[in-house]
Copies of this chain bind each other. A is one copy, B any other.
Amino acid sequence: MAGSAREKKSKLILDVAIKLFTNKGYAGTTMDEVAKTAGISKGLTYFYFKNKEDLYMAVTKKAFDELKGVFREIIKMKGKSGLQMLTDLTHLYFDFASKNRMYNDAILNFMGIMQLYTDNLTKSQIHPLILESDHFQKLLEIHHDCGRLGIQMVSHGIKDGSIRPELQPEVTFYTIWAMIIGYERLTGPVGFEEKEIKIHLDNWKPGFVKLMQDMLKGTIQAQKPQVVQASLF
């Protein structure tokens, strides 16, 4: 049962890390704390995880597993239009993000890392240890899986007529995904809007969802005559 024992110890460290990262954030958590809280020596945490980033990547993987679960849950339910699936995805992601802020931060953070991943010029800027993490490749795969499921939702919507047929599924899904990611980046469970910006989250969220739906299903064109203008593009 050596393998199982290893997994158990590994899981113990991971669970402790999740708790600490949740309470004190990534930067605010030390490896000493992780070890002490887990009741083991610091060296052992480095036996199970290459380094702190590797541990964080393991946490991020758990976050993405849950996220992928959300995608799957939605696509499983048959008898739902593609548009409805994407609407549900948006709401469920927002719920997920507000209930599990640390997981959401990990996901958003990973997006920022991934962005640089295949870029030869900037790869050097990223901490090389992240790229070495065994979890990193798996994360790329899971993210890709989420993408495939999302694209399926759009395709589904085009077939059932809830999404306008001229849209390209890939481009459309990733645009929606960008919207959601961007929204999360700009707000958060409590958000900045109360003090900083006039609109309320309660107002923005439904407006945001409405705009996304309009984009997908189409709307009546504005009637006022448009002025022709010079453009930079």
Are A171 and B207 also in contact (CB < 8 A) when A115-B192, A190-B118, A226-B162 are? yes
**Range, interface on chain A:** 35 or more
Cα of A55 to Cα of B231 in the assembled complex, Å: 38
The interface residues of chain B lying within 8 Å CB-to-CB of A192 are 114-115, 117-118
Complex partner residue of A182 from B182, B214, B226, CB under 8 angstroms = B182
The interface residues of chain B lying within 8 Å CB-to-CB of A118 are 190-192, 194-196
Q: Is A67 an interface residue (CB 8 A)?
A: no
The interface residues of chain B lying within 8 Å CB-to-CB of A218 are 214, 218-222
Most central of A160, A196, A203 by chain B CB within 10 Å: A196
Q: Is A2 an interface residue (CB 8 A)?
A: no
- Say yes or no: B186 contacts A111, CB within 8 Å: yes
Interface residues of A in 70-101 (CB under 8 A from B): 79-81, 83-84, 87-88, 91-92, 101
A and B contact pairs by CB, cutoff 8 A, 18 listed = A79-B229, A81-B229, A88-B231, A91-B233, A105-B112, A108-B185, A111-B186, A112-B185, A118-B191, A119-B190, A119-B191, A144-B196, A160-B226, A172-B207, A174-B199, A175-B211, A180-B182, A182-B182
Q: Is A16 an interface residue (CB 8 A)?
A: no
Most central of A116, A164, A179 by chain B CB within 10 Å: A179
Cα of A199 to Cα of B151 in the assembled complex, Å: 11
State how many copies of this chain the complex holds: 2
A residues with CB within 8 A of B: 24-25, 27-28, 79-81, 83-84, 87-88, 91-92, 101, 105, 108, 111-112, 114-122, 124-127, 140, 143-144, 147, 160-165, 167-168, 170-172, 174-175, 177-183, 185-192, 194-199, 203-204, 207-208, 211-212, 214-215, 217-227, 229-233
